Amino acid sequence: MKRLRSETHSLDEIDARLLAALEQDARQPISELARLVGLSAPSVSERIRKLQESGIIRSFTVDIDTKALGYPIGAMVRVRPLPGKIHLVEKLIQEIPQFIECYKLTGEDAFFAHMLVRSVEEMDDVLESLVDHAMTYTAVIKTTPVKRRLPPL
């Protein structure tokens, strides 16, 4: 059980603009960010440090095009574990690297997992490894109408 922590950091307009700019390009120079938000470079540096310290910025990372990486097929899998199998199923999903994201949800479909595969055969392999422990409902991703973005700040 994780400890609840009150995040005291409150965002002002400039922090919001900084986060938006960093979301678009996290490797742009501090000096450029400073120009964008109208502050000096050291101020921006300090704000970014505080955003990390307060936990709002978890990390700087890359957005990878998984198709270009060799995974042409993405799918969303709803997973309903058989009675008594929830923990086993959770562990299996964590151990199968083709699942690149998984949420545990309220309701009967305990897990919702994002799967990437190189072929339909590979998809079958992945699903087979769950078949003894859960019901699965798989839907292939056709398009992405909304790409990951920030909520309103």
Footprint of a copy of itself on this chain (CB under 8 A)? 7, 9, 11, 19, 22-27, 54-71, 74, 76, 90, 93-94, 97-107, 109, 111-113, 116, 139-153
The residue behind tokens 């992405």 is 144
CA-closest candidate to residue 78, choices 110, 107, 106, 123: 110
Closest CB 38 distance from a copy of itself, rounded Å: 20
The residue behind tokens 């390009």 is 25
d(CA 89, CA 33): 44
DSSP-assigned letter for residue 93: H
- Stretch binding DNA (CB under 7 A), from 17-25, 28-36, 58-66, 117-125: 28-36
94 contacts DNA (rule: CB under 7 A): no
Closest CB 152 distance from DNA, rounded Å: 22
- H or E element, residue 111: strand 111-117
First and final C-alpha spacing in the chain = 29
22 contacts DNA (rule: CB under 7 A): no
52 contacts DNA (rule: CB under 7 A): no
Among 23, 25, 32, 128, binds DNA (CB under 7 A): 32
29 contacts DNA (rule: CB under 7 A): yes
42 contacts DNA (rule: CB under 7 A): yes
d(CA 54, CA 151): 18
